[in-house]
Structure 1
Amino acid sequence: VSEDGRQHFRFDRASGRLVVADRLDREQLCGQADTCTLPFELLLADPLQFFRVEVTLDDINDHSPVFPEERVTFKIPETSDPSSRFPLEGALDLDVGSNSVQAYRIAPENKHFSVSFGSRNDDDKYVELVLEKPLDREEQTEMDFSVIAVDGGSPPRSGTAQIHIIVLDANDNSPVFTQEVYLARVLENTPEGSVILTVLATDQDEGINGDISYQFRQAGEQSNPAFEIDPKSGEIKLSKPLDFEAAQTHELRVRATDGGGLSAICKVLVEVLDVNDNAPELVVSSFSSPLAENSAPGTVVALFTVRDRDAGANGKVSCALDHQLFFSLRPAYKNYYELVTVRALDREDTAQHILSVTAADAGSPPLTTT
């Protein structure tokens, strides 16, 4: 009995071996989590026993790094000082650990630029182009090269973004966001079209060089259709309903670009708050019927499990049995319950018993399943 209801493994009763039931995709099952564990309970009957099993999936290097854009254009003033940095959206590699992106390089080598790659903290990696030598628009107005992302697999995989540099005159101030990280907390039942957050960047330049536009910047297969941003105001709105059970957080990247081509990037974290929108699920795992009338009190008639996809009190479930003289419920293991007899049965008196079990969560108001 797996926690997510999906059967990734099957049990070979003849040999006692646990075997894979279908192809396991670590990225599909666990995303980019550091560890990927598939837990489930092994239920043995007669006598009733429970065993908890955890299977850990190891990552293989089956994904190449992918840049959000195949071609990126930077408009850089010739007045830019050496060591100036220009943020570049890093490549996304769905693999984890050493199989994820480990290095970036420029090809062919460029005397004006190098690439810098690192982490400000555990969750915030950055990639930047670094100006090594002053630009001269009169000497060269444009240049092209590639940035290559390489992962640590064996053999390694790589992804490439084409960089196009346009050398400009005199836009000497980049946009600056009021915050490096914006945080929004949103109820999962918030209506479509609601404004959840507004990002703001300022630019000290005047005229077109101070006009700022906003865009989302994310890798293609990881783009988030639940949000949209107003390019002028920086308002971020919901474009589709959120689902706490599907994703509890969303990470967005917003680029602010001024009229001269300079840009800055900020992170937006959207925390989805749970509402009680899932009723408890009640699943019968085993059931004995008919039942001999000479069954002793305490005989297990049925075993069932309850779960609720909501979190906190909204996912805390209790069970009750409608008024009964012959049967009762008792907890068995974690979220398992046993239906047992509590007194002698008499077929001649009552040949059939119809029982109703109600599972209720602790939400306000509570949701129930019978």
Structure 2
Amino acid sequence: PGRLVVAGRLDREELCAQSDTCMLPFELLLSNPLQFFRVEVVLEDINDHSPVFQEDRVSFRIPETSVPGSRFPLEVAQDLDIGSNTVQEYNISPENEYFTVSYGSRTNGDKYVELVLEKALDREEQAEMGFCIIAVDGGFPPRTGTIEISIIILDANDNAPQFMQERYIGKVLENMPVGSVVLTVLASDPDAGVNGDISYQLSQAVGQSDSAFVIDPITGEIKLTKPLDFETAQKHEMIVRATDGGGLSAICKVLVDVVDVNDNAPELVVSSFSSPLPENTVPGTVVALFMVRDRDSGANGKISCALQDQLFFSLRPAYKNYYELVTVSALDREETPQYILSVTAADAGSPPLTTTQTFTVDISDVNDNAPVFNQTSYTMYVRENNVPTVFVGAVSAADADVGLNAKVTYSLAAEQGPERPWCSCISVNSENGHVFVLRPLDYEHLRQTEVTVSASDAGSPPLRANVTVRLVVLDENDNAPLVLYPAQESSPASSELVPVSAEAGYLISKVVAVDADSGQNSWLSYHLLRATDPGLFSVGLQSGEVRLRRPVTERDSVKQKLLVLVRDNGKPPLSATAALSALLLKDLSDVRLLHSSPASEDQAASLTTYLIIALVFVSLLFLISTAVLVARKVCRRKELKAGHVLYAADTLQSGLADAAAAGTLPRAYCYEISLTTGSGNSEFRFLKPILPSLPPQHCAVGQGPEEEQDFPGVPVSTEDMAPDNAGALSAGQFNALSFN
């Protein structure tokens, strides 16, 4: 036999919905043998669905006046199951005494569920309640569904308002501001909504004037509408009515007592006031006169006055309620230019009220302060040789006064005193105190001076102060050193005697010089400028001592001349020279020979003149010889080779012979001549020619003793000269002359 097997899960509610029966028809075909069958399968319901309400929560608004037995319908719970598996009953959880649930089917088969009121409601006792309705099906085990029920009890105006007190009594200060709350009345109504909303109305009692109060209709606060005055009305009586939204009302009485307070501050009325006051005002002077008053009475109208923290002013009673403000001590504008006086009037109330009047007293200036210099003395500096009207500094004085009393002008004091003579070289600007030197000053004549500068204010009478201004002249390097020793007069200076046996460091002499300047401008240094033999002497840089640098030798000249430079340390430095003479002697007998030295010197000077004339003559002969040789050279141009300087021996000898015959020297010679003085006998010697190829007999002058006698003491040296230089004596040849 074959078996029918369910291929998947079957859901009756999905296949047949809410049908009472659920049948699944299909055809069955068997192949061997071939047979055809019609099969119907009936699905039976199981309790697989719970009851479900359409809403999770339902609210009912039920008036508290509803009568018992009133019904309130609900929607039934839905269950997809059928038969006994559908909803069978409804229950209330938790149970209450006010409601039950009724359910069933109507005649037309429709099912219903209703809430039934079993007991009258009272909103004032319980305004809301809540419970659940549970739907239970007939399955096993049974399934349930729940819906929440909220009951809101609507109010009915079944209660009239009721005040907390039958009479309200309040106290209010007469100076309370408008709008202040005097007191608050309160009525209650257990009803809700409009029925419980209470509004308040205020009515004035009989015999009362216009009410100064108003009541807030919602809160019951009674407020002031205008200021109260205890002297006008001491008590106020009012009626307050409370009415709810349903028209029910209640009344109460309100009594307000006005409490007298010190609500009037003292008044201060000024009759006269004097400001500004001169600072030399005498003590006891009346500054202000004023009156005090208070509109209150009794202790609240009793007034006392006081002046706060003042040492220079005080209050004193005049008559009745008048007071005077007077000075009690001397005033000083420079210390306090303005006084702010506070006069306080206070009554005897509790708490006391006060009024403060401020008096601003300005103090006017009196010329009672002399100018004061910012220094006790001034020292100013100016360099000598200054330009005229040079600014050297400024004095400054301040005056503690104001206005014209503080305007300071400057001047030189007219009387300087015998120990401080008037100096016309200084001037001071009257407006700003600038000090000028009017003319150039010389440090060497005036090193410092003092003047008295006076500062005077413009007060009446004016006050003045004096200060000493010390002018110091600063040195400039405007004086050259002055040599004191050796004397530098035009007469011949005496010579220092130095023994030839003196060793190095031997003190020959000392140059003494001074400088009229000061400071570093007068620091002198000594330098050896020139000397006959510079290597023989040294000069002390600071001391000016002239000493031997080395021992004297026989080659040193007997008579030595030195020139010493004396220089100061100024910028730029100034200098002077000192000439010294020194004689190098073997013994004292040489000193006697010096007395005849002037004649020897004259003789040497004469001999020098003769030698110069001879040299000029020889030079002329040389030029003539050169010109002749040049002429002959032009004639023999074709025979000579271009650019050659040296000639053949026979030509040179012939030229020299011709020159000798003509009484001239050969053009190939140059001369160096030295003239010496210092002895009575001078020598003049010709040196040998510098051409060794020439025979001695061709020289213009021989080397015999006869030739030496012609020019004693003058040594001459010759050297070869180029032909192009012939005919002229070059500058180098003239420079070869030296005279000692």
TM-score range, shorter chain: 0.3 to 0.5
Indicate the structure with greater helix content: 2
Give TM-score scaled by structure 1 length.
0.46
Higher relative contact order (CA 8 A, sep 6+): 1
Larger Rg: 2
Indicate the structure with greater strand content: 1
